[in-house]
Each structure stands twice: as structure tokens, then as C-alpha cells.
Amino acid sequence: MACHVSEVLRHNRELWDQFSFKGISTLNQEYGHVRNVIGDRFLTRPYMSEYLRREGFSLEYPDGKGFAVCLTHDVDEIYPPLRHTALSSASSLTRGDLEGMKKHLLWRLKGKKYSPYINFREIMEIERRYGATSSFYFLATDKDVLRFRYDIEDLEGELGIVADGGCEVGLHGGYYAFDSPEKISEEKRRLEKVFNGKVTGYRNHYLRFRLPETWEYLRQAGFRYDTTIGNNRIAGFKNGLCHPYRPYDAIKNREIDIVELPLTLSDFTLMNTRVPFSRKWEIAKSLIDSAEKCGGVLTVLWHSDAFNNSHLSGWVKFYEKILKYCQSRNAWMASGREISGWVEDKI
């Protein structure tokens, strides 16, 4: 029996072409801009992972866990934009939460370190209650398509708090980095200098990616895994996979030495899926159940600013609901670094 993902998929021409993204231009044209479509096989059903399972491919996880959930946070904001401040203050006032309103209105008078979005301890504490760890991906660039975000140099102490809490510090590649090996390497060096440690995990801002070149740029820069490949408009299994894999360069006809943890579920996609809240949970639960059946890995993205944003408080409870359900299903909930390190010699 073939023991690697690519070896199994080579036996099925249609799936191999999908896996190696030979039809990527057609696929992107047809599915890349779909919004709020629930019934598409490329998104809701991990058909490629189902095939792997039928062909005998399986992964084992620590402590007899049946599947894995990779918990991740993109740190897009450290200092709330004025719009966030207005929405959160109004939400706090509506609920009679005067302290919350003060927190969102007055932090600028106290100084940067009082920003409500410096909340990594709180996030890790939530996850700790469910036996989970996670990855935090930080920006390390001064250039952004919308506005200046933050100086990573201001967060040296926070990076240490994340690492000391057993979680991962990763790079959130800038908007313009995905097709520039120089920018990727420069941002990695900048983050590692502030962190005073090695950074091996990556996700690009806005999920921007050039196939297959960005994988090669990341490998050259020393990253061990990426978790960008997903859909930022709808939750689901990009290309039908819920298993980690080593990407294949169809142009050069070779495997790329990096692990891809495909992104399946995010707060942003659920927020923008125009269905009732109860239906949003059904979507999330269905994706979790599918990953469990395949013995795969479900990657979850919950932006760090969603946790201390009063007008998004319902999404903190939603995240906890995910953690609670995954714990009940015997999932291994861990960071991208832990999961990629565990599977890299098994895929």
C-alpha cells in the first residue's frame, strides 16, 4: 500500500489533476469567487480525503485521538480602528456594560499597551480549558493594502507570552509578500529578530497565494508548513482535502518539501454566510464531522480581534462551542507547528 498522499492520488487521474492544481485556472474561474454556496462538492465534501481513506491511507494521532483540529489566529489588528471602537462601544452601551464601553473608548488615553486587542492571554486561557493549543500569525511589514497595522517591534513581550503559554508564533505574510521571495524572507527575519526564536509556520494575509511558486518561496525561506490554501468567501474543503499534504509542482514535476495544512473554517467566512446563526453552526459541525470520518485535520481560523470586540461577542461563544464539540469527539486540538511536525514524515 502506498504510504504518502501523492502516491495514493497518482492512481486516480482526475484526483491527481486536482491535487496538483493542473486545472487551477479553470477551478478558480468557476469556484474561486463563489459566495454563500453550501452545496458544492469542492467545498462541503472532502471527496479527495474520502478517496485516500478508501485506499487505506490513514494517520495516527497522539494519545489515540481520532482526528486533529489545527487552531489558528491571524493577528490582523493590535490597535482597534475607529470603526471597531465605535461599534464595540455602542454594543457595550446597549448591553449596559459601562466598563466595556470605557475599555474601548479610553485605551488610547492610557497608551498602546492598554489596547483591548492585546488579548493573547485570554485566548490561550479559553483554549486551555479544553486542553488545546494554537498558532498566532503576526504581521511583520509596514505596508498594507488598507492601512498601517502595527509595528511588530512593539510586541516583543506579547510574543514571549504566546510562546511561554505553549502556543506558536508564526508569520502572517503581508498583502504584497505572497509572490516575492525577498519580502517573505525579510518579514520572517524581522519577526524572528523580535521574537528571538525560530519561526516555521506561515499564512498569507487575505489568503493571497501564487500556485505553486509561493510554496517554493516559503521552502527556500525555511518554513516547515503553510496554512494559506483555503477559501476566504466560504467555509469548506478547498480541493476536497482535509488531510495535510506535501504540494506538487506540476510544472517542474516534483514534490515541494513543505507541509500544507489546508484551511477549512474561519470566523470571517461564517460571518459572511447569509444564513441564520443556527445554520452556521450546522455548517461548522458538518465540516468537523467530515474531518473526523476521514481521520483528517480540520484547520480553524479565528481572528484574534474577534475575542475582545464587543459587537462580535457571539463569535467568542461560537468558538468555544467548536472547542467543546471537538473535545467531545476526541479531537487532538493543537497548533500548526505541533500538527505539521507530527505528520511531516507520514504524508
DSSP states along 190-218: HHHHHHTS---EEEEGGG---TTHHHHHH
pLDDT > 90 in the chain, percent: 73
> Three-state SS for 97?
coil
- Whole-number pLDDT of residue 84: 72
In 3D space, the residue among 154, 70, 162, 170 whose CA is nearest the CA of residue 123 turns out to be: 162
Q: Which three three-digit cell numbers place residue 59?
A: 494517520
Give dist(CA 91, CA 95) in Å, integer. Answer: 6
Q: What DSSP character marks residue 222?
A: T
- Whole-number pLDDT of residue 27: 39
Give dist(CA 87, CA 69) in Å, integer. Answer: 31
Cis ω for the linkage preceding 247 (within 30 of 0): no
- Whole-number pLDDT of residue 111: 80
Is the pLDDT confidence value at 179 over 50? yes
Domains of the chain: 5-78+120-343 (3.20.20.370), 81-116 (no CATH)
- Whole-number pLDDT of residue 309: 80
Query: How long a stretch of residues is the chain?
Result: 347
User: Is the model more confident about 122 or about 308?
Assistant: 122
Residue range 21-49: mean pLDDT, rounded: 54
- Mind listing the pLDDT tens digit for each residue in 135-173? 999 999 998 988 899 999 999 999 999 999 999 999 999
Mean pLDDT of the chain: 90
List Cα–Cα distances, 78 to 37, 87, 118, 158, 275, in angstroms: 32, 16, 6, 11, 30
Give dist(CA 198, CA 196) in Å, integer. Answer: 7
- Whole-number pLDDT of residue 92: 65
DSSP states along 123-157: HHHHHHTTT---EEEEP--S--SSS----GGGGHH
- Mind listing the pLDDT tens digit for each residue in 2-32? 568 999 999 999 999 989 987 553 333 333 3
Which of 235-244, 247-256, 257-266 is predicted most confidently? Answer: 257-266
